[in-house]
Amino acid sequence: MTYAEMSTASLRRELSAAKREYTALQDQKLSLNMARGKPSAAQLELALGVLEALKARSEFANSNGDDCRNYGLWDGLPEMKRIFAAMIDVPEEQIILGNNSSLEMMFDVISRGYTHGYNGCKPWCKLDTVKFLCPVPGYDRHFSITEYFGFEMVNIPMNADGPDMDLVESLVAEDDAIKGIWCVPKYSNPSGITYSDEVVRRFAALRPKAKDFKIMWDNAYCVHDLTDTPDRLLPIWDLAEKNGTVDQLMIFASTSKISFPGAGVAALATSDGNIQDIKKHFLTQSIGPDKLNQLRHVLFLHDINGVRALMKGHRAILEPKFTLCEDMLERNVGGLGVATWNKPNGGYFISVNVLPGCAKEVVRLCKEAGVVLTGAGATYPYGKDPEDSNIRLAPTFPPIDELETAMQVMCVSIRLATLEKLLDERKEVYGQTA
């Protein structure tokens, strides 16, 4: 029976029980963190070989004969490009390597549009209004970048197969102030959705009014499968090339959740025209990325097969955590009509939707009991979830026993918040004395 179907007396009994459970958990003085999509210590151990990869002198030269310890090679090692090319289905000639952060490469792409512009169009800093489309719920750090530059962010609902493309197409066709869209096309952060073939085809065929429109295709979880039935993302590059739309594609990836989050390698893939623009920016900005770290990765990973083998190790650690979260949600709040959640085939997050108006309270209750979740609203531009409904769970970082305790807190907090809300609503309807 769902809470909505229960009598007020039953709800009150349920509330008392939930309060007891919550207090007992509070008494444990927990200090657990499920806020960010951080790999666990066990995952970090998988890539220790990266750190020991550089040994002999001869290894400091890449295939071009460059000494990787010295200056030079603004766009990174060809060997590392090849690995990324296989990961994100893009020809290696289209790839530029950065330092340790694909977010930094995204920031720089936006910053460059702001200061210098793309495709011969006016720099965005010279325009009165710049808008960016933001499929929601989405990744808070994407939204932070466009907020930092003062862009107006437009929420786009996420359907089960990706962003609402009818809306995207109609908006970009009419309004040339719309300069781009944020996308996490595979195992989307936080919803775990992978864009359908149809959605990818429509992105590759997009004809925006703005000539300098950019699809920020953040393929952060391209090889991050967690089940025997992984999602398959249609490669967008080839389609865009056929359609002549590659200029609007900016594809990002990194090894942050393959090797080390703070010390991996990032990549950007885009059209020849954009590469020319970006090259001028990059060459002015720096003498080049850390090639020794790229070389470490090349020596450790070898090729796409090395990446795949490593990702199996990650899956072995992560799959039980995701299963645990899903099972505990099912067991504790399933059938109560208080929450829905996805069961992603990969990625780093579980997205939970509680009843409208309850998300902030759930996150607060968890915090009061020593469990830090991602802030409610963080998955929306400006931190404002209009429904106050979405909560992002990041199950990867805590060890599995801690995760189990954290999920107990989470589940009882969902029950508590919902019960309080339902009982409040009935009070309002039937009056204080009912």
| Alpha carbon 199 to chain centroid, angstroms | 18
Query: Is the Cβ–Cβ distance between 122 and 360 less than 8 Å?
Result: no
Least spacing, CB of residue 77 vs a second copy, in Å: 11
Beta bridge partners of 96: 268
- Cβ-based neighbours of 35, under 8 Å, separated by 6 or more: 372, 373, 374, 375, 394
Question: How many Cβ atoms are within 10 Å of 231's Cβ, its own excluded?
Answer: 19
- Binding flags for a second copy, 20-59, as an x/- string (CB under 8 A): ----------------x-xx-x--xx-----xx-xx-x--
Pairing state between β 214-218 and 178-183: parallel
Closer of 73 and 369 to a second copy (Cβ): 73
- Calculate the alpha carbon distances from 365 to 16, 18, 417 in Å: 15, 12, 8
Using the rule CB under 8 A, is 101 a contact of a second copy? yes
Using the rule CB under 8 A, is 69 a contact of a second copy? yes
SS3 content of the chain, % helix, strand, coil (to 5): 45, 15, 40
Q: Which of 94, 84, 78, 107 is nearest to 271 (CA)?
A: 94
Pairing state between β 131-136 and 350-354: unpaired
For the segment 120-179, give every residue that binds a second copy (CB under 8 A).
123, 125-126, 141, 144-145, 148-149
Q: Is 214 helix (H, G, I), strand (E, B) or coil?
A: strand
Is the dihedral angle over the CA atoms 250, 251, 257, 261 positive or is it negative? negative
Least spacing, CB of residue 40 vs a second copy, in Å: 9
- Binding flags for a second copy, 272-291, as an x/- string (CB under 8 A): --------xx--xxxxxxxx
Pairing state between β 371-373 and 339-341: unpaired
Using the rule CB under 8 A, is 71 a contact of a second copy? yes
Least spacing, CB of residue 406 vs a second copy, in Å: 18
List b or e across 85-94, with b for residues whose CB sees 16 or more CB atoms inside 10 angstroms: bbbbbbeeeb
- Binding flags for a second copy, 208-227, as an x/- string (CB under 8 A): --------------------
Half-sphere exposure of 100 (CA within 13 A, CB side): 9
For the segment 288-327, give every residue that binds a second copy (CB under 8 A).
288-293
Among the listed residues 18, 79, 85, 111, the single contact to a second copy using CB under 8 A: 111
Least spacing, CB of residue 240 vs a second copy, in Å: 27
- Tell me the two tokens of residue 293: 């770290």
The C-alpha R_g of the chain, in whole angstroms, comes to: 23
Least spacing, CB of residue 282 vs a second copy, in Å: 9
Using the rule CB under 8 A, is 432 a contact of a second copy? no
Q: In the sheet that 390-393 helps form, which strands lie side by side, from edge to edge?
A: 339-341, 350-354, 390-393
Using the rule CB under 8 A, is 104 a contact of a second copy? yes
Least spacing, CB of residue 67 vs a second copy, in Å: 7
Least spacing, CB of residue 273 vs a second copy, in Å: 18
Least spacing, CB of residue 422 vs a second copy, in Å: 38
Helices (H) then strands (E): counts for the chain: 14, 13
Using the rule CB under 8 A, is 190 a contact of a second copy? no
- Binding flags for a second copy, 235-274, as an x/- string (CB under 8 A): ---------------------x---xxxx-----------
Is the dihedral angle over the CA atoms 161, 166, 171, 176 positive or is it negative? positive
Alpha carbon distance 253, 242 (integer Å): 22
Tell me how many residues contact a second copy (CB under 8 A): 55
Closer of 208 and 395 to a second copy (Cβ): 395
Listed ranges 113-121, 188-196, 314-322, 346-354: which one lies at the site for a second copy (CB under 8 A): 113-121
Among the listed residues 22, 114, 252, 380, the single contact to a second copy using CB under 8 A: 114
Least spacing, CB of residue 182 vs a second copy, in Å: 14
Least spacing, CB of residue 218 vs a second copy, in Å: 14
Residues that bind a second copy (CB under 8 A): 36, 38-39, 41, 44-45, 51-52, 54-55, 57, 60, 67-73, 99-101, 103-104, 107-108, 111, 114-116, 123, 125-126, 141, 144-145, 148-149, 256, 260-263, 280-281, 284-293
